[in-house]
Chain A
Amino acid sequence: MSPWLVGFSVFFGYPLVMSAYLSFNHYDLLSPPRWVGLANYRYLFTIDPQTWTAVKNTLWLIGVLVPLQVLSAFGLALMLARARQGVGIFRTIFYLPALAPPVAATLGFVFILNPATGPVNTILGHLGINGPLWFQDPSWSKPSLVLLGIWGVGNTMIIFLAAVLDVPRTLYESAALDGAGPLQRLRYVTLPSISPVILFAVILGVIQGLQYFTQAYVAAGVAAGQASQAADVTTASLGYPVDSTLFYPVLLYQHGFVDFQMGYASAMAMFLLAVSFAVTLVIVVNSRRWVHVAAR
């Protein structure tokens, strides 16, 4: 146990304390920390015009992506559970995208969804539909990221599949005998039986949403496109287009590791910690109402 205690204090306890301390300082790593009291927090909440954009973006992501991911994972799992032939093939097809590294998947998606030359809009064009600008349009960039997220839902789907297959047949049969149709069986037998798994998927999704960085960073950088390694400053592409993909972790990265403001980034981190706690607490407390823990 002792190595773990050492590791815990070094890699978890110490940074937490240090983060709190730094949040009250101005620190750019080039000169020693300078105490500024609540100045960072005041700047974060009242002056930085990007703070609330970042918060709104992250909350939007959690509010839209998580339910959609859970729904699609559950939906796909249901279909797989009911299917008779070729289940293995379908399962593999749905699971494969989840294996793709996030950077590779994002690059692929940004290219495919290129509004001018990408295959998706080309095909839509043949069908007579004027495709949206996807990653180039501030109103479509987050939905595009949501599409990317749903594409990679394989892991959650497998968990749902196992849980759905685990529901005892007898429960279905007794419900059918009582006259329940398929929809009612779904609502009164399947859903309650797998509710712990639903909770697990939701919590996992929320945690990932609060940390969402890689896909937003890569997508914004690639979509901003023409900036390259030469004369221009590429960091202006974070959140492209027009701050629509500026999520809270991305903004934190920008302030801490691009703008030199490590004290300020620590203040942002403390706020993120508080929000993570609050959100997880809300979900767990709420879950008591609808999570049905089966007798084991």
Chain B
Amino acid sequence: MSAVGVTAPLVRRRPPASVRRRRFLVAVANNSVLIAAAIAFLAPFVFILLTALMTNDQALSSKLWPHPFAWHNFVDVFTKAPLWRWTLNTLIYSVLATLGVVVSSVPVAYALARLRWRGRTAAFLVVLVALMLPPQVTVVPLYVMWAKFHPFGFNFIGTLWPVIIPNWFGDAFSIFLLRQFFLTIPEEYLDAARVDGCGELRILTTVVARLAKPAIAAVALFSFLYTFNDFFLPLLYTGEAANHWVLSIGLSEFRSLHQVQWNLTMAATLLVMAPVIVIFFLAQRAFVEGVTLTGVKG
């Protein structure tokens, strides 16, 4: 991606005073805007934290600083709402869905990128269309389908299965991303493996998977994040089955379960944000690489 160019050797001269002053002012100006922006971005977190530490009456008033600090709010949240169950449900959903996305999208992306077969362009166009299709378009018939399908008397509505299962059949965004990445794998590697007598499947699992680790990691990360935060689909299917709620639904219902105790609601909000932020700090590099990959290759 970088252009090839020949640079003339630069001679470093001390710039005149006026230039230096201007540069310094510009640097300060730049940084001050940065600092101001950082404050603006951090402020909501700070306010939420402060409210989470207030008592209920304080939270309802316009006081800004909690007095005393009610640290036990974070513990109270767990006793007032089935936070653990929601977390479990969310994890089941996210982990199974992410697994499904990775396992199903990689072969399809590979087929679209590297194999030659008839209808390949058409299939890719279909993926593109699926990419930009709002889920609301397909949601009604899918819901009807799940509502009328009762194998062995099992009811899908009210469980998370209708949300998990489609992920095992490929996800348009992941397929797109992986395909773009696979396109950059030099054909020589694949040809070398083919000459060695590997079938396409072996090539996929050994050569390609190893080379594409960052891309696959990015896809897994994004799927996990997306499903962890998903609200609309779980709302549709488990909205009335409280023991199957995920964290996002539980949090939105938290206020009506406990008559808007804002201090507890804010504490719960922070607790829901916490796991994702923790994962971020642990896997910072993977995150940033993954996001970069999406945009730059996309």
Contact = CB atoms under 8 A, between A and B. Distances in A.
A19 B138 contact: yes
A168 B47 contact: no
Contacts of B295: 156, 158-160, 162-163, 197, 200-201
Interface stretch (A1-9, A41-49, A133-141): A1-9
Chain A binding surface SS class: helix
B7 to A, nearest CB: 6
A108, A262, A280 — most chain B CB neighbours (10 Å): A108
Given A102-B229, A211-B136, A1 B111 contact: yes
Interface in B55-74: 60-62, 64
B132 A117 contact: no
Interface in A193-240: 197, 200-201, 203, 207, 210-211, 213-214, 217-218, 221-222, 225, 228-229, 234
B248 A171 contact: no
13 contacts: A7-B166, A8-B170, A11-B138, A93-B42, A99-B225, A99-B273, A100-B276, A101-B229, A107-B255, A159-B294, A201-B295, A222-B255, A249-B134
Given A3-B104, A4-B108, 20 more contacts: A7-B166, A11-B142, A12-B130, A15-B138, A16-B137, A16-B138, A22-B140, A80-B34, A83-B34, A90-B38, A104-B251, A107-B252, A119-B64, A155-B291, A158-B288, A163-B295, A168-B5, A201-B295, A207-B134, A273-B133
A200 B141 CA distance: 30
B125 interface: no
B70 to A, nearest CB: 16
Interface of B: 1-3, 5, 7, 10, 27, 30-31, 33-34, 37-38, 41-42, 44-45, 47-48, 50-51, 60-62, 64, 104, 107-108, 111, 126, 130-145, 147, 166, 168-170, 225, 228-229, 231-232, 235-236, 247-249, 251-252, 255-257, 259-260, 262, 265-266, 269-270, 272-273, 276-277, 280, 284, 288, 291-292, 294-296, 298
Contacts of A280: 132
Contacts of A61: none
